[in-house]
Structure 1
Amino acid sequence: MTGQISLFGIRHHGPGSARRLVEALDALKPVAVLIEGPADASDLLPMLAAPDMVTPVALLAYAEDNPANASFFPFADYSPEYQAACWAVRHGAALRFIDLPASDRLGASAADIAEESAARSEDDPVSRDPIGALATAAGYDDGESWWSDVIEENPATGPVFAAVADAMTALRTGEKPLSAREAAREAHMRIEIARAAKECDGAVAVVCGAWHVPALAERRSLAADRELLKGRPKTKIKATWAPWTAPRLSRASGYGAGVVAPGWCAHLWETREGDRTAIWLAKVSRVLRDHGHFVSTASVIEAQRLGTALAALRGRPAPGFAELREAAIACLCNGERALWNDIAAELLVGAGVGAIPAATPLAPLLEDLQRQQKATRLKPEALERPLTLDLRSESGLIRSTLLHRLNALDVPWGRLTDAGRSRGTFRENWQLRWEPEFAVRLVENLLYGSTIAEAAAGRLIEAMGKEAELGVLASLVRDAMIADLPRATERGIAALETKAALTSDGQALLGALPPMADILRYGEARAGTVEHLSALMPRIVVQAALALPYTARNLDAPAAAKLRAAIIAADAAIQLAQLDGDIVTTWHDALSALLHDDQATRLIAGTAARLLYEAELLAADRAAELMARMLSPGTPVAEAAGFFEGFFDGAGQRLIHDAELRGAVDAWLMALDEDAFTANLPLFRRVFSALDRTERRRLMDALFARHSGGSKGYRLVADAAAIWPAHQSRVIELFTSGAAR
Structure 2
Amino acid sequence: MAKPVQRMPGDERLKETADGVHLFGIRHLSPSGAHHLLSFLDEIRPTAVLVEGPSDASGLISQIASKGVVPPIALLAYTEELPVRSLLYPLASYSPEYQAFLWASKEGAACEFFDLPSGYALALHGLKEKTDSASAQDEEGRTRYIRHHNGLYERIAELADEPDYEAYWERYFEHNGNAGAYRSTIHSFSDQMRRMNSEDEYASWPQETAYTDIREAFMRRRIIETIAAGHLPSRIVVVTGAHHVSALVGDQSAMTDDQWARLPFAPTRLTLMPYTYYKLSSRSGYGAGNRTPAYFQLFWECLRDNRLSELPKMYMSKIAAAMRDKGTYRSTASVIEAVRMAEALAAMKGGSLPTWQDLCDASIVCLGGGEASVVADAHARIDVGTAIGVLPEGVSQTPIQDDLNRELRRLKLDKYKTPVAQSLELDLRENRRVQSEEAAYLDLNRSVLLHRLELLGIPFARKLPLKQDAATWAEHWTLQWTPETEIGAVESTLKGETIEIASAYVIHERLQTCADIVEAAKIIRDASLCRLLEAMDEAGRMLQALTVDSDNFERIAEAAFELSALIRFGSIRRHDTQSLVPLLQRLFLRGALSLSQAANCNNDAAASVLSAMQMLHTVAQEHYDDVDEALWIRELRELTSRDDRNPMLSGFSFAILLDRNEFSPQDIEREVSRRLSPGIPADLGAGWFEGLSKRNRYALLSRISLWEQLDAYIGSLDDEQFRRSLVYLRRAFAAFEPRERAAISDMLGELWGTGTDDASMLLQRPLTEEEKEKLDELNEFDFGDL
Q: CA deviation at 1:213?
A: 0.7
Q: Which residue of 2 aligns with 1:244?
A: 275
SS at match of 2:67: coil
Structure 1 residues 137 and 372: CA distance shift in structure 2, 3 A: closer
Superposition pairs of residues 292-691 of structure 1, within 5 angstroms: 292-293=327-328, 319-322=354-357, 324-325=359-360, 332=367, 346=381, 348-369=383-404, 381-382=414-415, 402-409=449-456, 439=486, 441-446=488-493, 451-453=498-500, 455-456=502-503, 478-480=525-527, 482-483=529-530, 484=532, 514-521=561-568, 525-526=576-577, 571-576=617-622, 579-581=627-629, 584-585=632-633, 588-589=636-637, 592=640, 611-619=656-664, 661=702, 683=737
Q: CA deviation at 1:205?
A: 1.8
Structure 1 residues 248 and 428: CA distance shift in structure 2, 3 A: same
In the alignment, which of 53, 61, 64 is matched to residue 37 of structure 1? 53
CA contact (8 A) 2:47 2:235 kept: yes
Superposition pairs of residues 204-283 of structure 1, within 5 angstroms: 204-222=236-254, 225-234=256-265, 236-250=267-281, 257-272=288-303, 273-283=308-318
Q: CA deviation at 1:535?
A: 5.6
Q: Which residue of 2 aligns with 1:190?
A: 220
Cα distance between partner residues in 1 of 2:265 and 2:637: 66
CA contact (8 A) 1:457 1:488 kept: no
1:440-469 Cα offsets, whole Å, 9 max, x none, are 5422545666553564467779999999x9
Cα distance between partner residues in 1 of 2:342 and 2:54: 42
Structure 1 residues 388 and 216: CA distance shift in structure 2, 3 A: same
SS at match of 1:199: coil
Q: CA deviation at 1:87?
A: 2.2
Tell me the amino acid that sits aligned with residue 190 of structure 1.
Answer: R
Structure 1 residues 150 and 249: CA distance shift in structure 2, 3 A: closer
Q: CA deviation at 1:354?
A: 1.9
Superposition pairs of residues 146-185 of structure 1, within 5 angstroms: 146-151=165-170, 154-158=174-178, 159-173=181-195, 174=198, 179-185=209-215
Q: Which residue of 2 aligns with 1:82?
A: 98
Cα distance between partner residues in 2 of 1:184 and 1:48: 27
The answer to which of 487-496 and 516-525 deviates more is 487-496
In the alignment, which of 77, 86, 98 is matched to residue 61 of structure 1? 77
CA contact (8 A) 2:520 2:542 kept: no
In the alignment, which of 90, 93, 97 is matched to residue 113 of structure 2? 97
CA contact (8 A) 2:73 2:275 kept: yes
Cα distance between partner residues in 1 of 2:83 and 2:390: 22
1:398-419 Cα offsets, whole Å, 9 max, x none, are 9875553223235567979999
TM-score, length-scaled by structure 2: 0.63
Structure 1 residues 358 and 316: CA distance shift in structure 2, 3 A: same
Q: Which residue of 2 aligns with 1:135?
A: 153
Q: CA deviation at 1:36?
A: 0.6
Tell me the amino acid that sits aligned with residue 363 of structure 1.
Answer: T
Q: CA deviation at 1:264?
A: 3.9
Q: CA deviation at 1:82?
A: 1.4
Cα distance between partner residues in 1 of 2:190 and 2:395: 38
Cα distance between partner residues in 1 of 2:659 and 2:350: 77
Tell me the amino acid that sits aligned with residue 164 of structure 2.
Answer: S
Q: CA deviation at 1:186?
A: 1.3
Cα distance between partner residues in 2 of 1:283 and 1:595: 76
Q: Which residue of 1 aligns with 2:767?
A: none
Structure 1 residues 225 and 566: CA distance shift in structure 2, 3 A: same
Cα distance between partner residues in 2 of 1:67 and 1:541: 44
Q: Which residue of 2 aligns with 1:199?
A: 230
Structure 1 residues 56 and 403: CA distance shift in structure 2, 3 A: same
Cα distance between partner residues in 2 of 1:254 and 1:462: 33
CA contact (8 A) 1:60 1:242 kept: yes
Structure 1 residues 62 and 315: CA distance shift in structure 2, 3 A: same
Q: CA deviation at 1:46?
A: 1.9
The answer to which of 229-238 and 511-520 deviates more is 511-520
CA contact (8 A) 2:346 2:355 kept: yes
Structure 1 residues 583 and 98: CA distance shift in structure 2, 3 A: farther
Cα distance between partner residues in 2 of 1:265 and 1:228: 41
Residue identity over aligned pairs, in percent, reads: 27
SS at match of 2:278: helix
Q: CA deviation at 1:387?
A: 7.4
Residue ranges of structure 1 left out of the alignment (5+ in a row):
632-637, 669-678, 689-725, 729-741
Q: CA deviation at 1:267?
A: 4.0
Tell me the amino acid that sits aligned with residue 72 of structure 1.
Answer: L
Tell me the amino acid that sits aligned with residue 407 of structure 1.
Answer: E
Structure 1 residues 370 and 218: CA distance shift in structure 2, 3 A: same
Structure 1 residues 184 and 581: CA distance shift in structure 2, 3 A: same
Structure 1 residues 65 and 307: CA distance shift in structure 2, 3 A: same
SS at match of 2:90: strand
1:188-239 Cα offsets, whole Å, 9 max, x none, are 21122233346235532211111111111223455x5444323233455442
Q: CA deviation at 1:363?
A: 1.0
1:595-635 Cα offsets, whole Å, 9 max, x none, are 999985xxx9998776434433345776799999999xxxx
CA contact (8 A) 1:56 1:353 kept: yes
Q: Which residue of 2 aligns with 1:19?
A: 35
Superposition pairs of residues 714-725 of structure 1, within 5 angstroms: none
CA contact (8 A) 2:115 2:215 kept: yes
SS at match of 1:266: helix
Q: CA deviation at 1:37?
A: 0.8
SS at match of 1:88: helix
Cα distance between partner residues in 2 of 1:211 and 1:259: 17
Structure 1 residues 598 and 528: CA distance shift in structure 2, 3 A: closer
TM-score, length-scaled by structure 1: 0.66
Structure 1 residues 470 and 491: CA distance shift in structure 2, 3 A: closer
Tell me the amino acid that sits aligned with residue 228 of structure 1.
Answer: Q
Structure 1 residues 441 and 124: CA distance shift in structure 2, 3 A: closer
Tell me the amino acid that sits aligned with residue 49 of structure 1.
Answer: A
Q: CA deviation at 1:350?
A: 3.7
Q: Does 1:145 align with 2:145?
A: no
Cα distance between partner residues in 2 of 1:511 and 1:48: 52
CA contact (8 A) 2:154 2:164 kept: no
Structure 1 residues 661 and 54: CA distance shift in structure 2, 3 A: same
CA contact (8 A) 1:33 1:88 kept: yes
Structure 1 residues 67 and 629: CA distance shift in structure 2, 3 A: closer
Q: CA RMSD in A?
A: 6.4
Structure 1 residues 664 and 473: CA distance shift in structure 2, 3 A: farther
Structure 1 residues 398 and 298: CA distance shift in structure 2, 3 A: closer
SS at match of 2:50: strand
CA contact (8 A) 1:187 1:228 kept: no
Cα distance between partner residues in 2 of 1:542 and 1:314: 83
Cα distance between partner residues in 2 of 1:92 and 1:567: 75
Residue ranges of structure 2 left out of the alignment (5+ in a row):
1-16, 417-423, 431-436, 677-685, 710-732, 743-754, 758-786
Cα distance between partner residues in 2 of 1:591 and 1:316: 85
